[in-house]
């Protein structure tokens, strides 16, 4: 057996420590446990120690088939192993496609995505093998988790001064960002499985009170809990009344409508919504509940393993909650998803009106961002938006983080989804996206993403762009 590991890998110690601390954090429930870890270890072994690349690919395919995991729900790890095995055996086309699949569909942290991008570049038989193994070694150690940290509540953001006066002349500044991808400094005791074990249902909802009391006593200590069939809402002040009860009813109704429109499945246990009256409390919740330090411009985020939503929402406003709820449902039901849909759909419902048993999407503050982009000849190409992988969508593909590009991408995604919804085409597109398979896809992943949109709309992208802009102008002038 030949061992091809590098003798002295140039891996920065800090990132190793960080990766190691977060090891096993990203494994989704259906792939976790002894069996899955054993399988991963075995695959790593036959790839890195025994160089049995073709065998590795077959084993991974068999394993996924046996586990009966739908394509979109396959976590990134086995895809990564497949990609490496393909590249190492000289099947670069398949290797690149599998790397692309990860880049396009998984919202991992920028640094880990950049590592994948590097690997994809090296996916060629002529690649420097020792260098190649070094980078692989880094990926092998584990993973990091990403938290979406966003500004999404219109009722709040519309009042944010800087949001109203976007200074387009100032080329690289736009604040606050509509989304901030945080690298969560996860504490070890808050591993994925710890979070997953936080299960609250009608039987044990009292334990939610206990667990919050435990850490909240050092705080002002005041909170109240409201429950409904699918939610547990923790209000971090002691006010409770008819007003809040009607808000919770509305949230249940929103959930019901989203489920019927998109076919989302609802998590078995309650979705826990932490509502902080102001930022200080939210910072505290994030620290204590999820072990993360949050950016001060943040007004809400959600975490998948413990199905929780944390927001600053004076008066229990639903905007950000609806946005984050969509994220939880999308990740829970669809798994891997293209960024323009994974962010466009939540952004639509952040400003939506519940009435007559319907959830009507309304125009919102993100239109200002598109207007600014149009007025300043900033690129609003839908073709490039659809081709975006998560790195370029979050404007983090270069060393420079570009908050304006990020804001435009979010706004454009929202309005393009809104357009497709009104054309009754959104669901058809989503269905085809869910059915994608990197193994059998004829075009590249980004080519395929564009093709689906063109096929469903029955016209080429330049025409789609024209029709969308015409629709947008009319919407804007209404
Ligand atoms: Zn979002």
pLDDT confidence bin for 102, thresholds 50/70/90: very high
Given a cut of 50, whether residue 322 has pLDDT beyond it is yes
C-alpha 147 to ligand 1 mean position (Å): 10
C-alpha 303 to ligand 1 mean position (Å): 11
Would 468 be classed as within a structural domain? Answer: yes
CATH number of the domain bearing residue 221: 3.40.30
Question: Phi and psi dihedrals of 348, rounded to 5?
Answer: -65, -45
C-alpha 164 to ligand 1 mean position (Å): 20
Question: In terms of domains, do 420 and 446 share one?
Answer: yes
Higher-confidence residue of 232 and 314: namely 232
Strand partners, 271: 231
Report the chain's mean pLDDT, rounded to a whole number: 77
C-alpha 61 to ligand 1 mean position (Å): 32
Question: Which two tokens mark 336?
Answer: 């891997």
Given a cut of 70, whether residue 177 has pLDDT beyond it is no
| pTM as predicted | 0.82
Q: In the listed set 306, 333, 360, which residue is the last one of a domain according to the structure? A: 333
Closest by Cα among 149, 152, 158, 146 to 107:
146
Out of 9-13, 34-38, 184-188, 318-322, give the one with best mean pLDDT. Answer: 318-322
C-alpha 328 to ligand 1 mean position (Å): 10
Q: Exposure pattern of 103-142 as b/e (b: 16+ CB <10 Å)?
A: bbbbbbbbebbbbbbbbbebbeeeeeeeebbbbbbbbbeb
Question: Which two tokens mark 106?
Answer: 């998984």
Question: In terms of domains, do 175 and 213 share one?
Answer: no
Number of domains in the chain: 3
C-alpha 63 to ligand 1 mean position (Å): 32
Question: In terms of domains, do 307 and 279 share one?
Answer: yes
Amino acid 22: pLDDT = 35
Amino acid 35: pLDDT = 59
Higher-confidence residue of 460 and 127: namely 460
C-alpha 12 to ligand 1 mean position (Å): 31
Question: In terms of domains, do 456 and 363 share one?
Answer: yes
426-434 and 242-262 helices, crossing angle to 10°: 70
Q: In the listed set 118, 144, 170, which residue is the last one of a domain according to the structure? A: 144
Question: In terms of domains, do 84 and 198 share one?
Answer: no
Amino acid 4: pLDDT = 34
Amino acid 255: pLDDT = 98
C-alpha 321 to ligand 1 mean position (Å): 10
Q: Which pairing describes strands 271-276 and 231-235: parallel, antiparallel, or unpaired? A: parallel
pLDDT confidence bin for 23, thresholds 50/70/90: very low
The span from the CA of 402 to the CA of 441, in Å, is 32
Given a cut of 70, whether residue 391 has pLDDT beyond it is yes
pLDDT confidence bin for 155, thresholds 50/70/90: very low
Would 383 be classed as within a structural domain? Answer: yes
Given a cut of 70, whether residue 431 has pLDDT beyond it is yes
Higher-confidence residue of 70 and 218: namely 70
Q: What is the mean pLDDT of residues 189-198?
A: 70
Question: In terms of domains, do 470 and 341 share one?
Answer: yes
pLDDT confidence bin for 195, thresholds 50/70/90: confident
pLDDT confidence bin for 242, thresholds 50/70/90: confident
Higher-confidence residue of 319 and 23: namely 319
Would 165 be classed as within a structural domain? Answer: yes
Q: In the listed set 333, 356, 391, which residue is the last one of a domain according to the structure? A: 333
C-alpha 290 to ligand 1 mean position (Å): 18
Q: Please list, in sequence order, all residues whose beta carbon lies within 8 angstroms of the beta carbon of residue 368, skipping any fewer than 6 positions away.
A: 163, 164, 166
Amino acid 399: pLDDT = 61
Question: Which two tokens mark 137?
Answer: 């070694």
Question: In terms of domains, do 79 and 168 share one?
Answer: no
Question: In terms of domains, do 259 and 320 share one?
Answer: yes
Amino acid 180: pLDDT = 41
Would 423 be classed as within a structural domain? Answer: yes
C-alpha 325 to ligand 1 mean position (Å): 9
C-alpha 347 to ligand 1 mean position (Å): 6
**Would you give the end-to-end CA distance of the chain in angstroms?**
71
Question: In terms of domains, do 193 and 318 share one?
Answer: yes
The span from the CA of 344 to the CA of 346, in Å, is 6
The span from the CA of 370 to the CA of 347, in Å, is 14
pLDDT confidence bin for 137, thresholds 50/70/90: very low
Would 1 be classed as within a structural domain? Answer: no
Given a cut of 70, whether residue 246 has pLDDT beyond it is yes
C-alpha 260 to ligand 1 mean position (Å): 21
C-alpha 179 to ligand 1 mean position (Å): 7
Amino acid 152: pLDDT = 39
CA 427 centroid distance within chain = 19
Amino acid 376: pLDDT = 85
Question: In terms of domains, do 229 and 169 share one?
Answer: no
Would 417 be classed as within a structural domain? Answer: yes
Residues in the chain, overall count? 478
Given a cut of 70, whether residue 247 has pLDDT beyond it is yes
Q: Write the pLDDT tens digit of every residue in 58-75.
A: 999 998 888 888 878 888
C-alpha 384 to ligand 1 mean position (Å): 19
Rounded to the nearest 5 percent, the helix, strand and coil shares of the chain are 55, 10, 35
Higher-confidence residue of 374 and 179: namely 374
Task: Report whether 112 contacts 138 (CB < 8 A).
Answer: no
Would 471 be classed as within a structural domain? Answer: yes
Domain interval for residue 405: 155-179+334-478
C-alpha 132 to ligand 1 mean position (Å): 34
Q: Write the pLDDT tens digit of every residue in 261-296.
A: 999 999 999 999 999 888 888 888 888 887 777 766
pLDDT confidence bin for 125, thresholds 50/70/90: low
Q: Please list, in sequence order, all residues whose beta carbon lies within 8 angstroms of the beta carbon of residue 467, skipping any fewer than 6 positions away.
A: 459
C-alpha 191 to ligand 1 mean position (Å): 23
Question: In terms of domains, do 199 and 314 share one?
Answer: yes
Amino acid 258: pLDDT = 97
Would 126 be classed as within a structural domain? Answer: yes
Higher-confidence residue of 40 and 178: namely 40
C-alpha 84 to ligand 1 mean position (Å): 30
Question: In terms of domains, do 342 and 227 share one?
Answer: no
Q: What would you measure as the largest C-alpha separation in the chain, in angstroms?
A: 71
Q: Write the pLDDT tens digit of every residue in 27-47.
A: 333 333 445 677 878 888 888
C-alpha 81 to ligand 1 mean position (Å): 29
C-alpha 364 to ligand 1 mean position (Å): 15
pLDDT confidence bin for 457, thresholds 50/70/90: very high
C-alpha 327 to ligand 1 mean position (Å): 7
Given a cut of 90, whether residue 467 has pLDDT beyond it is yes
C-alpha Rg value of the chain to the nearest Å: 23
pLDDT confidence bin for 103, thresholds 50/70/90: very high
């Amino acid at each position: 057996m030949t061992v091809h590991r590098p003798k002295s890998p140039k891996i920065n110690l800090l990132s190793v420590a960080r990766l190691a601390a977060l090891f096993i954090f990203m494994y989704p429930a259906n792939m976790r446990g002894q069996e899955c870890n054993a399988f991963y270890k075995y695959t790593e072994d036959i790839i890195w120690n025994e160089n049995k690349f073709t065998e590795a690919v077959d084993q991974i395919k068999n394993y996924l088939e046996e586990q009966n995991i739908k394509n979109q729900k396959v976590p990134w790890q086995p895809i990564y192993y497949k990609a490496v095995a393909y590249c190492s055996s000289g099947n670069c086309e398949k290797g690149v496609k599998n790397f692309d699949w990860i880049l396009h569909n998984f919202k991992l942290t920028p640094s880990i995505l950049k590592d994948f991008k590097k690997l994809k570049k090296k996916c060629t038989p002529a690649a420097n093998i020792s260098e190649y193994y070094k980078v692989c070694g880094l990926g092998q150690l584990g993973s990091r988790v990403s938290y979406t940290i966003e500004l999404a509540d219109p009722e709040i953001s519309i009042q944010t001064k800087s949001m109203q006066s976007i200074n387009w002349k100032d080329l690289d500044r736009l604040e606050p960002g509509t989304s901030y991808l945080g690298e969560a400094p996860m504490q070890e005791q808050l591993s994925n499985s710890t979070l997953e074990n936080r299960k609250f249902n009608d039987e044990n909802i009292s334990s939610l009170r206990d667990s919050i009391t435990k850490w909240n006593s050092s705080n002002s200590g005041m909170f109240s809990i409201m429950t409904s069939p699918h939610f547990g809402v923790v209000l971090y002040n002691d006010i409770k009344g008819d007003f809040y009860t009607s808000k919770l009813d509305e949230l249940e109704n929103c959930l019901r409508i989203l489920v019927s429109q998109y076919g989302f499945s609802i998590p078995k246990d309650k979705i826990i919504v932490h509502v902080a009256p102001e930022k200080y409390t939210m910072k505290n919740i994030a620290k204590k509940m999820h072990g993360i330090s949050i950016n001060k411009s943040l007004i809400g985020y959600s975490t998948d393993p413990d199905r929780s939503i944390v927001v600053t929402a004076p008066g229990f406003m639903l905007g950000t909650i609806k946005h984050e709820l969509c994220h939880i449902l999308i990740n829970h039901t669809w798994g891997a998803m293209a960024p323009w849909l994974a962010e466009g759909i939540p952004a639509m419902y952040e400003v939506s009106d519940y009435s007559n048993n319907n959830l009507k999407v309304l125009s919102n503050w993100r239109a200002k961002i598109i207007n600014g982009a149009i007025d300043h000849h900033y690129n609003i190409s839908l073709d490039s938006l659809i081709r975006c992988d998560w790195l370029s969508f979050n404007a983090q593909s270069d060393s420079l983080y570009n908050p304006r590009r990020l804001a435009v991408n979010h706004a454009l995604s929202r309005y393009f989804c809104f357009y497709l919804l009104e054309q009754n085409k959104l669901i058809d597109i989503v269905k085809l996206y869910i059915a994608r398979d990197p193994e059998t896809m004829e075009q590249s992943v980004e080519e395929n993403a564009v093709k689906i949109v063109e096929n469903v709309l029955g016209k080429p992208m330049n025409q789609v762009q024209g029709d969308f802009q015409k629709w947008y102008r009319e919407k804007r002038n209404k």
